Amino acid sequence: MREIPLLTSRIHVGAGLLAGPEGAIPTPATAGCILTDQNCLPYAKAVERRAKAAGIPTHRVVLPSGEGQKSMASAARLHQHLARAGMDRKSAVFAVGGGVITDLGGFVASTYMRGIRVYLYPTTLLGQVDAAIGGKTAVNLPQGKNLVGTFYQPAAVFCDPEVLRTLPPREYVSGLGEVVKYGMIRDAALFDTIGRNIEGIRSRDPQVLDEIVYRCIAIKADVVTQDERESGERAILNYGHTIGHALEAAGGYKVLQHGEAVSIGMEAEAILSMELGIAPLELLAAQNKLLKLCGLPTRVKRMPEKKVMAALKLDKKNVSGKTRFVLPESIGKVRWGVEVPSDLIAAALRTITA
């Protein structure tokens, strides 16, 4: 097992942390709420057994799976559930699942009684390399993704690459969108490593995944440590997300998985960078090649441009109504806060939706 410190949190990476017979033992709490969804129930039961063995009285909340659960209505129901269960400020939430569960669990924990401890057990590749790391919590509104949220560091995060073997193919590949992003924004060597180890990634080789997950977390932890609340450099983590989030919202969160939307967003934002003379054509080609090797999409059909443009207007990075982008300069280096003319944005959208 390897450990990465991140401000007040500790991130643990290693085989068996969740799926193994020993696993991670939570620290004492007066009570614990095990939050999970139907797909992750076996893992949640393992965490629950360990919590009870550690002397923590627990109860379990099992939600339907899907992005639709990441809402204000779900958060309100959970707040009420914690209150009815008599949970106090020394209680804890144990969120076991993908990005929806860890985002929702973190948001509820951060707002219940002004903040109780939360432990995250991400079960997806996307969750392990991104969603559960860094202390951002959020729920969606109909108008856009992650529009209501907090900055709140979990007490600890436990990433077990072994559980990735059981992910459905589409969900696993979706997580690779965030993995490629890390190479593009901060680590050209990681970008090359992904390409060299593509067969191991496709076959979900445990050693390859352990290293990939660890390196991605290390990049994000370093960025967040320097800029926890996204006042500067943390914005680079949004590469591909400005257009990606708009695509998700325009599709009603039903057409694209998050990593797929990020992949298409990276394609569009690399096009914008090329059109502005920031990045060369070769960068767009190299990124496109790696995304396709990973099995990720770079195009989406039947996505109304007006809906995407409307969603872009609600992006959290906007300033005075103007959309700001993270754009690549070279592999491993990006600019953030770049304003882009609306006609170029529209042209890029037409390219990726053709």
| Active-site position among 39, 140, 146, 238 | 238
Burial of 142 (0-12, 13-18, 19+ CB in 10 A): exposed
Q: Which of 234, 260, 267, 269 is catalytic?
A: 234
Is 245 marked active-site? Answer: yes
Of these residues, 178, 260, 267, 269, which one is catalytic? Answer: 178
Active site residue 333: no
Does the annotation count 178 as an active-site position?
Answer: yes
Query: Is 45 tagged catalytic?
Result: no
Catalytic choice (146, 245, 267, 269):
245
**What residue type is assigned to position 148 of the chain?**
V
Name every residue whose Cβ is closer than 8 Å to that of residue 12 and which is 6 or more positions away in sequence. 1, 2, 3, 24, 156, 157, 158, 159
3 state SS of 53: helix
Q: What six digits make up the tokens of 9?
A: 């949190």
A 10 A CB-CB count for 64 gives 10
List, in order, residues 6 or more apart from 72 with CB less than 8 Å away.
139, 141, 148
Question: Are the CB atoms for 313 and 288 separated by under 8 Å?
Answer: no
Q: Is 233 a catalytic residue?
A: no
Burial of 62 (0-12, 13-18, 19+ CB in 10 A): middle
Q: Does 318 qualify as catalytic in the annotation?
A: no
Specify the residue for token string 């290693």: 14
User: Are the beta carbons of 185 and 334 closer than 8 angstroms?
Assistant: yes
Whether 81 is catalytic is no
d(CA 9, CA 134): 9
Query: Active site residue: 136, 145, 181, 324, which one?
Result: 136
User: Which residue out of 39, 241, 260, 267 is catalytically annotated?
Assistant: 241
Q: Is 230 a catalytic residue?
A: yes
Active site residue 39: no
How far apart are alpha carbons 227 and 215 in whole angstroms? 19
The active-site residue, picked from 258, 260, 267, 324, is 258
Does residue 258 have an active-site annotation? yes
- Cα end-to-end distance, the chain, whole Å: 46
User: Sign of the CA dihedral 134, 65, 210, 255?
Assistant: negative
Q: How far is CA 221 from CA 9, 127, 186, 228, 309, in A?
A: 10, 14, 12, 9, 32
Q: Which of 50, 145, 181, 220 is catalytic?
A: 220
Query: Which of 230, 248, 267, 269 is an active site residue?
Result: 230
So which residues are the catalytic ones?
Answer: 114, 136, 178, 220, 230, 234, 238, 241, 245, 258
